């Protein structure tokens, strides 16, 4: 597999630029700050970085509302800063992926400002417009993920426009070939600059049902959130018609055709549909996306049954594509809080890293995961996320996972900024600062580094097939196999020690060390695992 593309089996470190490192004292992270910290990122042993949006934007959704696809917002720096970032990252051996938000723009984008002026201008059909019903109400029952109707009245045109997210994020009309061409040209701009890949935000939202049919209601017992509050009325519908339309497959093929003109680049799609695993499999078939990831492991369910069931379901359907796994990102509660059962610990943090990085596929890790950061508890008056403000107090939004990185416990604002940070840094994060963990061989940070470097020496963990071994809660076990070499991987997902019987054929497995985790011990066919312990062993 030495000739495998860089992204296959890679670990990508997600950087949320607002919260990574601020260099100009305005309390918001920037591109020069990322440049300043790239040596640290490279030391983690990851393969790539993914940078959340840094494009020109009014920041209603903190960059996911783009006003200019081809420019850097002054809040983050300049295009020259991005060029310097790209050069330094590549010099350190890091690939660079950037977010591309293609399904919608900001209401401040020049395209929308023109489109909303009349029904007969050159951009009139660039967004999803529809007439009101006879009673003046919205065209159908579609809901915004951020709450309320997905339709907003525009008096200039006397029509409604579609917004699957904020009212200030109007949806582009991908049925218009000029829109598709303009979007692909924007992607080409960054590929020409030398980026190694694109992470495609909400990529299954590009097309809508042309007949504007109502979404059917969802039974109460099935209203399970995937990255959003279960109290959100968005969960009350099956979203059959406002996203994941068959026409999107043709656009994905066009996008892939563009990317295939550039050597060794990758497209990673974020997918959230009614059956996200099936959509992942469909979107990563030959000639479409290189990788896909969903919210299936970003839920509160930390059980062997859920993890195994999710992976096995995807494996059964994804016969051509390649998965990418994530257990944390900028949209959900931090995993150590979400899966820590009220008692997060360094041992659990290290186990979670090892677990997700041992599944078949590539991996995205979110900044601060390597430090064992927990979800920050913020008072209402500190919130910035419009989603959290709207749904407080039942749902506190996404600010708790987006607080700034704690670099130094001794410096003001934990070394993140000389000014007041845009979100407060909780005291418990200061105690986990990089400066505190660097010199501690047993820290979560150094455990993360040890495992990442060890993983690079295990081809089976990066590229091998996966087969689950029958176990009971709380033990998760599977093998990864490549070129005649098999590695047995066993995780105790509980804080208490446990003991299991190894299935026939595994009682002679030879333990592997050097991964830096709490190692189990085998006695014959019995395997004893400490709390949050693991067992990596070679099976001949």
Give the closest residue to 64 by CA, choosing from 481, 387, 533, 523: 387
- What is the C-alpha separation between 520 and 540, in angstroms, rounded? 19
Sign of CA dihedral 216, 222, 228, 233: positive
Among the listed residues 65, 201, 282, 331, the single catalytic one is 201
The backbone region for 23, taken as left when phi is positive above 0, alpha when psi lies in -120 to 50, beta otherwise, is alpha
- What is the C-alpha separation between 12 and 382, in angstroms, rounded? 30
Contact indicator for 163, 152 with CB cutoff of 8 Å? yes
For 391-444, strand residue ranges (E) read none
Bridge partners of 159, per DSSP, are: 154
| Phi and psi at residue 209, to the nearest 5° | -70, 120
- What is the C-alpha separation between 230 and 240, in angstroms, rounded? 18
Question: Would you call 201 a catalytic residue per the annotation?
Answer: yes
- What is the C-alpha separation between 459 and 75, in angstroms, rounded? 41
Question: Would you call 270 a catalytic residue per the annotation?
Answer: yes
Give the closest residue to 2 by CA, choosing from 456, 466, 487: 456
Sign of CA dihedral 33, 39, 40, 44: positive
Contact indicator for 417, 25 with CB cutoff of 8 Å? yes
Sign of CA dihedral 377, 61, 322, 278: positive
Among the listed residues 30, 65, 270, 385, the single catalytic one is 270
- What is the C-alpha separation between 493 and 374, in angstroms, rounded? 18
Sign of CA dihedral 15, 21, 27, 32: negative
Q: What share of the chain is helix, strand, coil (3-state, %, to 5)?
A: 30, 20, 50
Task: List the catalytic residues.
Answer: 201, 270
């Amino acid at each position: 597999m030495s000739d495998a593309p860089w992204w296959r089996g890679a670990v990508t470190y997600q950087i949320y630029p607002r919260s990574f490192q601020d260099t100009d004292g305005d309390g918001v992270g920037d591109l020069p700050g990322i440049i300043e910290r790239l040596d640290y990122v490279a030391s983690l042993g990851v393969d790539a970085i993914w940078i959340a949006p840094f494009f020109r934007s009014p920041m209603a959704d903190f960059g996911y509302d783009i006003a200019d696809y081809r420019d850097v917002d002054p809040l983050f720096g300049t295009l020259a800063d991005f060029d310097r970032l790209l050069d330094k990252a590549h010099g350190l051996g890091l690939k660079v992926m950037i977010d591309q938000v293609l399904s919608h723009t900001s209401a401040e984008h020049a395209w929308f400002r023109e489109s909303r002026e009349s029904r007969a201008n050159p951009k009139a059909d660039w967004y999803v417009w529809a007439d009101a019903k006879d009673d003046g109400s919205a065209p159908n029952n579609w809901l915004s993920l951020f709450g309320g109707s997905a339709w907003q009245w525009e008096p200039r045109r006397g029509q409604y426009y579609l917004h699957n997210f904020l009212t200030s994020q109007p949806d582009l009309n991908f049925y218009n070939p000029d829109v598709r061409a303009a979007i692909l040209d924007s992607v080409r701009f960054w590929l020409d600059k030398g980026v190694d890949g694109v992470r495609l935000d909400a990529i299954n939202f590009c097309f809508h049902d042309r007949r504007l049919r109502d979404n059917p209601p969802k039974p109460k017992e099935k209203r399970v959130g995937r990255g959003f509050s279960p109290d959100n009325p968005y969960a009350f519908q099956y979203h059959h018609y406002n996203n994941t339309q068959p026409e999107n497959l043709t656009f994905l093929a066009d996008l892939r055709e563009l990317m295939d003109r550039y050597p060794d680049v990758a497209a990673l799609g974020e997918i959230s549909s009614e059956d996200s695993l099936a959509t992942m499999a469909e979107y990563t078939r030959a000639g479409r996306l290189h990788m896909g990831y969903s919210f299936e492991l970003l839920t509160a369910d930390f059980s062997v049954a859920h993890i195994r069931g999710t992976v096995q379901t995807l494996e059964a359907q994804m016969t051509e594509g390649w998965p990418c796994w994530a257990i944390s990102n900028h949209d959900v509660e931090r995993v150590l809080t979400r899966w820590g059962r009220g008692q997060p610990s360094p041992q659990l943090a290290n186990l979670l890293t090892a677990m997700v990085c041992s599944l078949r596929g590539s991996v995205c890790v979110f900044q601060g995961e390597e430090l064992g950061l927990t979800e920050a508890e913020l008072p209402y008056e500190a919130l910035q996320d419009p989603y959290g403000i709207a749904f407080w107090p039942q749902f506190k939004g996404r600010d708790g996972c987006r607080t700034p990185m704690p670099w130094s416990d001794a410096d003001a604002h934990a070394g993140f900024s000389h000014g007041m940070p845009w979100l407060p840094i909780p005291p418990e994060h200061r105690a986990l600062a990089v400066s505190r963990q660097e010199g501690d061989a047993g820290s979560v940070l150094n455990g993360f580094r040890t495992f990442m470097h060890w993983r690079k020496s295990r081809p089976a963990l990066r590229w091998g097939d996966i087969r689950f071994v029958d176990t009971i809660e709380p033990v998760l076990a599977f093998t990864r196999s490549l070129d005649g070499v098999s590695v047995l991987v066993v995780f105790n997902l509980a804080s208490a020690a446990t003991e299991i019987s190894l299935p026939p054929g595994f009682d002679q497995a030879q333990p592997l060390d050097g991964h830096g985790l709490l190692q189990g011990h085998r006695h014959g066919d019995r395997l004893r695992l400490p709390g949050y312990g693991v067992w990596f062993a070679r099976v001949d």
